[in-house]
């Protein structure tokens, strides 16, 4: 019988702990979020993060851009927020728009305010396996926290990560490598027959392709764990990238959608905001 990795339950516990820490903190904490207000998804995701931040006593400020903004204007906004001592963390909700150079925007965020760990400096530290010194992108960091909370034993096992985005797949594959797993990073150019072979021998399968109910391979290991990162809108519902029933019938552990990775992403982001504020306050 498959068991559920319950991100909703764990994220609640994490947020309760942050709320206690915030109450005792002798410093102010504020999350600044930048997003394109013409993108309904971005508006919704930022809204969820702002509400969760408020629920633990963390202030927020929203900076809405639209399709008339250019890269220089966003860079000037980031510079202002980098120098604003009342701002502890800066979140850039992608996509900002096709006309914006997002890589330049992420890299302009001060590494000590980079709540999503997407600036090249923080990604470099991830490559160096210097995790304690920097922030890792909230979704892969949330997946690691979820697995660790269930005492997942990483060492020497095979992981298959499907999807190689800078936001998720790449940092996920490095985190699992740093945790001593043998990692295969698959993408859209991976031939289907090879993907099937990798999946058959994987102890951990992490799916992040952004296609509703896409993953439905057979012959998975009975002891495998499947993490569904997908958050797709289908007929007004949020559905994952994994066909849940078919996959759950084959493996030992699985994340649901909703209630798996999504709440962990938000809780992790809020935790990063608190930790960066603490770090800035100490001046370390
Ligand atoms: P993305 O930037 O669109 O990347 C998708 C990746 O999937 C790409 O690397 C792409 O390969 C790969 N891919 C597409 N079709 C494939 C196929 N047929 N076979 C193998 N690989 C394929 O997406 P993302 O930002 O990583 O997000 C992925 C999913 O996670 C989305 O559903 C997103 O909504 C969700 N997400 C959820 C959370 C959360 O908190 N729950 C957070 C972030 C993202 P190529 O590189 O070759 O194009």
Alpha-carbon distance of 171 to 127, in angstroms, equals 9
Q: How confident is the model at residue 284 (pLDDT cuts 50, 70, 90)?
A: very low
Q: Is the CB of 190 under 6 A from ligand 1?
A: yes
Distance between Cα 61 and ligand 1 center (Å): 28
Question: Are both 24-112 and 138-261 of the same fold?
Answer: yes
Q: How confident is the model at residue 134 (pLDDT cuts 50, 70, 90)?
A: confident
Distance between Cα 10 and ligand 1 center (Å): 24
pLDDT digits (tens, 9 = 90+) for 268-283: 999 999 999 999 998 5
Q: Is 33 labelled a binding residue?
A: no
Please state the rounded mean pLDDT for residues 222-238.
Answer: 96
Q: Is the CB of 238 under 6 A from ligand 1?
A: no
The CATH code of the domain at 24-112 is 3.40.50.10860
pLDDT digits (tens, 9 = 90+) for 30-65: 999 999 999 989 999 999 999 999 999 999 999 999
Q: Is the CB of 155 under 6 A from ligand 1?
A: no
CATH assignment of 138-261, given 3.40.50.620, 3.40.50.720, 1.10.600.10, 2.10.50.10?
3.40.50.720
CB 34 within 8 A of CB 92: yes
Query: Which residue's alpha carbon is at the smallest distance from atom 5 of ligand 1?
Result: 209
With a threshold of 0.95, does the pTM exceed it? yes
CB 204 within 8 A of CB 223: no
Q: Which of 41, 209, 243, 255 to mutate to test the pocket of ligand 1 (most atoms within 8 A of CB)?
A: 209
Question: pLDDT at position 283, please?
Answer: 54
Question: pLDDT at position 268, please?
Answer: 97
Domain locations along the chain: 24-112, 138-261
pLDDT digits (tens, 9 = 90+) for 85-110: 999 999 999 999 988 999 999 999 99
Residues carrying an active site annotation: 49, 93, 116
Reply yes or no on whether the pLDDT at 131 is more than 80. Answer: no
Question: Could you give the C-alpha distances from 132 to 55, 60, 126, in angstroms and in order?
Answer: 27, 26, 9
Q: Is the CB of 30 under 6 A from ligand 1?
A: no
Structure tokens given for 75: 């860079």
Q: Is the CB of 210 under 6 A from ligand 1?
A: yes
Omega before residue 266 within 30° of 0, cis: no
Residue with tokens 């600044």: 32
Residues 6+ apart with CB under 8 A from 38: 66, 67, 97
Distance between Cα 77 and ligand 1 center (Å): 28
Question: pLDDT at position 21, please?
Answer: 97
Q: How many CB atoms lie within 10 A of CB 219?
A: 10
Q: Is 19 labelled a binding residue?
A: no
Looking at the CA of residue 142, tell me the nearest atom of ligand 1.
40
């Amino acid at each position: 019988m498959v068991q559920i990795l319950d991100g909703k339950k764990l994220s609640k516990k994490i947020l309760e702990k942050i709320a206690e820490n915030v109450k005792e903190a002798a410093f102010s904490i504020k999350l600044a979020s930048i997003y394109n207000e013409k993108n309904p998804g971005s508006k919704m995701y930022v809204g969820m993060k702002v509400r969760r931040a408020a629920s633990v006593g963390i202030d927020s400020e929203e900076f809405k851009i639209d399709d008339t903004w250019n890269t220089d204007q966003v860079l000037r906004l980031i510079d202002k927020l980098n120098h604003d001592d009342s701002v502890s963390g800066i979140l850039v909700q992608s996509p900002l728009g096709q006309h914006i150079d997002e890589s330049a925007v992420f890299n302009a965020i001060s590494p000590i305010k980079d709540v999503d760990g997407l600036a090249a400096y923080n990604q470099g530290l991830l490559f160096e396996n210097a995790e304690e010194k920097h922030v890792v992108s909230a979704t892969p960091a949330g997946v690691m926290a979820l697995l660790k909370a269930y005492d997942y034993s990483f060492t020497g096992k095979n992981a298959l990560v499907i999807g190689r985005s800078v936001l998720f797949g790449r940092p996920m594959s490095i985190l699992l490598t740093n945790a001593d797993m043998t990692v295969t990073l698959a993408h859209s150019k991976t031939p289907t027959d090879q993907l099937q072979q990798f999946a058959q021998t994987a102890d951990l399968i992490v799916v992040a392709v952004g296609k509703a109910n896409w993953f439905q391979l057979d012959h998975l290991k009975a002891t495998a764990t499947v993490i569904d990162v997908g958050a797709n809108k289908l007929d007004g519902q949020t559905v994952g990238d994994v066909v849940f029933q078919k996959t759950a019938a084959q493996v030992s552990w699985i994340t649901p959608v909703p209630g798996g990775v999504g709440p962990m992403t938000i809780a992790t982001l809020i935790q990063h905001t608190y930790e960066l504020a603490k770090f800035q306050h100490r001046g370390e």
